[in-house]
């Protein structure tokens, strides 16, 4: 059944405006639950009224105004919040706002606030994905490879912690920016991956999430231009997103990097990403800190996007970059990706031996089984390859990946 234009408008408004509405309410009222609940009530009102009254000329402004009224109505009903109620009522668009400090964008500021050091790292990221990305608990749980109930408890505990500790919604100071930067970058990258890897919904790429992550990274880069990892994450996302149009075939199947039409890649994003990578190379040569995780991943993507064809890829350079990355981040996923590159330099047997030594925690990660399946196929172990493909298909997060893996499995010999 085809969605109506009004349904499309509501869906688009949720994707494009949720973060702005929640962040603005959180800044104004200093209460995450109130901000989220009022935003949800505003969207419920849109579902009820827009089909009858028509889509407003400025959906974002309508949602913000409606959510603000919902929040004030709730404060009026809760007498124990009298002080907040009074403060909210006297604040109008003509009232000078509190100084914004070094972070002027409401959404970026909310990320820094949610990344308070009193919260566990996983809770910071999950809470921000919920509030900024508007993702469901199920979507976030898939991104973390944990059960939905576990993620729900994690988010609930994070909100309770903010209330219990009376964590202020004050503007982060310059010192806060440095202390929370790692968490903020992790949040931005997970928002990007939620869109790019399509772990939720049936769209192969949720462009509104990838675009939002890149936008936030641009804001952060403008704020902290000398921070190498900020530059690195922006370059990484630009170079990854440049391949968006080539990642899925017309039939809805994932297209792997080596099979993609490189003429469909976004050259503007590639040029910008390469320039950022070169900027960091020059900075390190001039004495800046050694490159971190995001800078190294950006450099790896720069090698891939610099090659005119898959067979021209400088795999030796990619392995060397993964060696440096493994020294700083020896996680099983990094070692898995390094092994995939090793297969192109030293052969599939060597890579398969490395993969089989990886941590068993990757058993729930579909890419691990997909990589094993491909290497087993290349060394002629078709039966084991089929089993690995079956497991990868079972774990794959979206239809495009399942279609690709199913085709590869069905192409195996007897």
Q: Mean pLDDT lowest for which of 110-114, 276-280, 319-323, 338-342?
A: 110-114
Across 397-404, average pLDDT: 87
Average pLDDT score over the chain: 85
pLDDT in tens, 177-219: 777 888 889 888 988 887 776 533 445 446 767 887 898 899 8
pLDDT of the residue at 102: 52
pLDDT of the residue at 168: 65
pLDDT of the residue at 79: 59
Q: What is the CA radius of gyration of the chain?
A: 23
Across 301-310, average pLDDT: 96
Contact 81, 75 (CB under 8 A): yes
Reported as a pLDDT band with limits 50, 70 and 90, residue 270 is: very high
Q: Which residues of 265-297 are buried (b: 16+ CB within 10 A; e: fewer)?
A: bbeebbebbbebbeebeebeeeeeeebbbbbbb
Name the residue with higher pLDDT: 30 or 395: 395
pLDDT of the residue at 93: 46
> If you write DSSP's letter for every residue of 64-115 in order, what string do you get?
HHHHHHHHHHHHHH-GGGHHHHHHHHH--TTSPPPP-TT---HHHHHHHHHT
Residues in Cβ contact with 211 at an 8 Å cutoff, skipping those fewer than 6 apart: 195
Segment holding 401, helix H or strand E: helix 399-410
**Is residue 94 scored above 60 in pLDDT?**
no
Q: By C-alpha distance, which of 63, 71, 35 is closest to 47?
A: 63
**Is residue 396 scored above 60 in pLDDT?**
yes
pLDDT in tens, 31-49: 888 888 999 999 999 999 9
pLDDT of the residue at 172: 64
Reported as a pLDDT band with limits 50, 70 and 90, residue 133 is: confident
pLDDT in tens, 210-250: 887 898 899 889 878 899 999 999 999 999 999 998 998 88
Reported as a pLDDT band with limits 50, 70 and 90, residue 127 is: confident
Task: Please name each of the domains of the chain with its CATH number.
Answer: 5-82 (no CATH), 106-219 (no CATH), 225-241+263-313 (no CATH), 322-413 (1.25.40.10)
pLDDT of the residue at 86: 54
pLDDT of the residue at 82: 56
Across 360-369, average pLDDT: 88
pLDDT of the residue at 33: 84
Q: What percent of the chain has pLDDT over 90?
A: 46
Name the residue with higher pLDDT: 74 or 279: 279
For the packed helices 5-29 and 32-53, what is the interaxial angle rounded to 10 degrees? Answer: 150
Beta bridge partners of 108: none
Q: By C-alpha distance, which of 156, 163, 306, 181 is closest to 232?
A: 181
Reported as a pLDDT band with limits 50, 70 and 90, residue 346 is: very high
Across 257-271, average pLDDT: 96
Across 287-299, average pLDDT: 95
pLDDT of the residue at 205: 43
pLDDT of the residue at 97: 44
Query: Would you state the structure tokens that stand for residue 327, as one six-digit string?
Result: 């020294």
Across 158-184, average pLDDT: 76
Contact 124, 182 (CB under 8 A): no
Across 74-100, average pLDDT: 56
Q: Mean pLDDT lowest for which of 100-109, 198-207, 294-303?
A: 198-207
């Amino acid at each position: 059944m085809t969605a109506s234009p009004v349904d499309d408008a509501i869906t688009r408004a949720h994707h494009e405006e949720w973060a702005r509405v929640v962040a603005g309410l959180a800044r104004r009222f200093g209460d995450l639950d109130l901000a989220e609940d009022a935003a949800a009530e505003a969207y419920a009102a849109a579902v009820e009224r827009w089909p009858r009254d028509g889509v407003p000329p400025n959906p974002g402004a309508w949602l913000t105004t409606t959510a603000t009224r919902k929040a004030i109505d709730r404060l009026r009903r809760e007498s124990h919040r009298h002080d907040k109620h009074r403060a909210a009522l006297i604040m109008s668009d003509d009232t000078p706002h509190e100084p914004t400090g070094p972070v002027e964008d409401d959404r970026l500021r909310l990320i820094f606030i949610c990344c308070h050091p009193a919260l566990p790292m996983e809770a910071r990221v999950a809470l921000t994905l919920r509030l900024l990305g508007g993702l469901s608990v199920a979507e976030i749980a898939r991104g973390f490879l944990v059960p939905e109930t576990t993620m729900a408890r994690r988010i609930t505990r994070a909100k309770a912690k903010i209330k219990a500790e009376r964590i202020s919604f004050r503007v982060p100071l310059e010192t806060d920016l440095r202390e929370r930067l790692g968490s903020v970058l992790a949040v931005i990258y997970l928002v990007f991956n939620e869109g790019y890897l399509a772990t939720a919904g049936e769209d192969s790429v949720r462009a509104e999430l990838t675009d939002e992550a890149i936008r936030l990274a641009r804001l952060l880069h403008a704020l902290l231009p000398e921070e190498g990892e900020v530059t690195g994450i922006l370059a990484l996302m630009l170079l990854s997103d440049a391949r968006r149009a080539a990642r899925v075939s017309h039939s809805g199947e994932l297209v792997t990097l080596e099979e993609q039409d490189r003429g469909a890649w976004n050259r503007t994003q590639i040029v910008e990403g390469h320039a950022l990578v070169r900027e960091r190379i020059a900075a390190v040569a001039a004495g800046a800190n050694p490159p971190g995780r995001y800078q190294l991943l950006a450099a790896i993507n720069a090698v891939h996007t610099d090659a005119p064809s898959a067979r021209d890829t400088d795999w030796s350079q990619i392995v060397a970059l993964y060696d440096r990355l493994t020294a700083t981040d020896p996680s099983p996923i990094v070692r898995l990706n390094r092994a995939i590159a090793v297969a192109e330099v030293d052969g599939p047997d060597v890579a398969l031996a490395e993969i089989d030594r990886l941590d068993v925690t990757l058993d729930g990660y579909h890419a691990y089984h997909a990589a094993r399946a491909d290497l087993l196929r290349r060394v002629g172990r078709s039966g084991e390859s089929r089993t690995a493909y079956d497991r990868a298909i079972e774990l794959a997060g979206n239809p495009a990946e399942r279609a690709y893996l199913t085709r590869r499995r069905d192409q195996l010999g007897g």
